[in-house]
Amino acid sequence: MRILLIGEYNRSHKFLKEGLLKLNQEAIVVGLNDGFKKVDVDVLIKSYFEKGLLKKFRVLFFKIFKVDLHSYFIKHQIIKQKEKLSGYDIVQFINESSFLCLPKTEKEIFNLLIQWNKKSFIQSCGCDYPSVKFAFDKKFRYSILSPYFENRGTKLDFYHALKYLEPGFINLHNHIYRTIDGVISCDLDYTIPLKNNPKHLGLIPHPINTDNIKFSNLEILDKIIIFHGINRNNYFKKGNDIFEKALEIIKEKHSSKVKIITVENLPYHEYIKAFDESHIFLDQVFAYDQGYNALEAMAKGKVAFTGAEQEWLEHYNLKENTVAINALPDEKAIAEKLEWLILNPKKLIEISKNGRLFVENEHHYIKCAKQYLNKWNYLIQNSRKSKF
């Protein structure tokens, strides 16, 4: 089978591709390289207007001529690559807005790729209309929009999510869901909003290539090392402000027992090395399930503070605080959990080993790739039967 994977988000499609290749399938990843993270793709679609003078020129050009240069050049590159991007059995999009273009251009690019290939699917991954609408309607106990409702940060800080509620993106969402053969959610934060959606084919966990991620037994020789990576674009959505307040509490109470490493906006290859010496990894607050950063940290043997809500415990039949630590949107609660681990280092070692086993068992890239193939093949076979 030939598979075209469109767009990238924290190496989701890269790891899926690696799993598919192990299963003797043909697959390539096409897209942007996920901003400052600089994730590798097979066919790079370049974004020329991300920062500096070119970004300012793009804004000015749009104000005068109502033409978005980013969208124009992305679509132009896609058309030039038609031969490379045609004739696949499966085309899967990472998101409803895989190229960060205006919704009109995203729709045009989507239509081209649908026409050039056979069956089409989309991942519910990153922000999209179903998950953002669910959060905006306050159907989660807490969500990435909780800080927005609490007036922490500006509307601009949440634009990346809120834009999906604008008419153009709602129209794009409706068009995509009318057209695709199915949508696959990548964790419970996307699965829950898609409950009862007829196009939803179910949850397939984020694939992680644990074959290439070395596990290191935690060695606690002196201080407990806590790693906090900040993405300024998602500062409030990830709950970085809450983590920082929790760390202030810990520094005040246990400064002699901890070392805190804080980094900002690192490219992926630097980021993944930056937390190597740490014991505890602070990932995100407003989530029910883990994202890529937490899973890769767990695979390396770090104890992740991340989404590990009751729904996640029930889905995987786990007990609380055995695989990951649920980071609640409360700095005191986070500080209490940090203190518990600082004073009980044996627990750190135990959770570290459990976390690695969990990622190997539930997120192994070949296992996940098989699940994708099963869902794709099921739809293909059913569509053939319906023709007779």
Q: What is the CATH number of the domain that holds 243?
A: 3.40.50.2000
Mean pLDDT over 17-26 rounds to 98
Instruction: Please give the pLDDT value at position 35.
Output: 53
DSSP type of residue 197: -
- Are 182 and 291 part of one and the same domain? no
- Containing domain of residue 8, as a range? 2-207+365-386
Q: Does the pLDDT value for residue 26 go beyond 70?
A: yes
Q: What is the mean pLDDT of the chain?
A: 94
Interval 293-310: pLDDT, tens: 999 999 999 999 999 999
Amino acid identity, position 311 = E
DSSP type of residue 364: B
Instruction: Please give the pLDDT value at position 265.
Output: 80
| Bridge partners, residue 120, by sequence | 91
Q: In what order do the strands lie in the sheet with 303-306?
A: 258-264, 224-230, 280-282, 303-306, 325-326
Interval 115-160: pLDDT, tens: 999 999 999 998 999 999 999 999 999 999 999 999 998 888 999 9
Distance of CA 84 to the CA centre of its chain: 26
Q: How confident is the model at residue 357 (pLDDT cuts 50, 70, 90)?
A: very high
8 Å CB contact between 353 and 198: no
Instruction: Please give the pLDDT value at position 252.
Output: 96
- Are 237 and 157 part of one and the same domain? no
Q: Which residues contact 236 (CB under 8 A, 6 or more apart)?
A: 147, 148, 152, 153, 157, 158
- Are 169 and 141 part of one and the same domain? yes
pLDDT greater at residue 267 or residue 250: 250
Q: Which residues contact 340 (CB under 8 A, 6 or more apart)?
A: 347
Share of the chain above pLDDT 70, in %: 97
- Are 162 and 246 part of one and the same domain? no
Distance separating alpha carbons of residues 89 and 20, to the nearest angstrom: 13
- Are 251 and 373 part of one and the same domain? no
- Are 60 and 31 part of one and the same domain? yes
Instruction: Please give the pLDDT value at position 388.
Output: 42
Q: Please state the domain count of the chain.
A: 2
Interval 32-90: pLDDT, tens: 974 555 678 999 999 888 888 999 999 999 999 999 999 999 999 999 999 999 999 99
Q: Does the pLDDT value for residue 359 go beyond 60?
A: yes
- Are 65 and 87 part of one and the same domain? yes
- Are 349 and 378 part of one and the same domain? no
Q: Does the pLDDT value for residue 317 go beyond 60?
A: yes
Place of tokens 């591709």: 17
- Are 49 and 106 part of one and the same domain? yes
The dihedral formed by the CA atoms of 145, 197, 372 and 385, expressed in degrees to the nearest 10: -160
Instruction: Please give the pLDDT value at position 198.
Output: 95
- Are 105 and 84 part of one and the same domain? yes
State phi, psi for 43 to the nearest 5 degrees.
-120, 105
Q: Does the pLDDT value for residue 378 go beyond 90?
A: no
- Are 160 and 102 part of one and the same domain? yes
- Are 232 and 369 part of one and the same domain? no
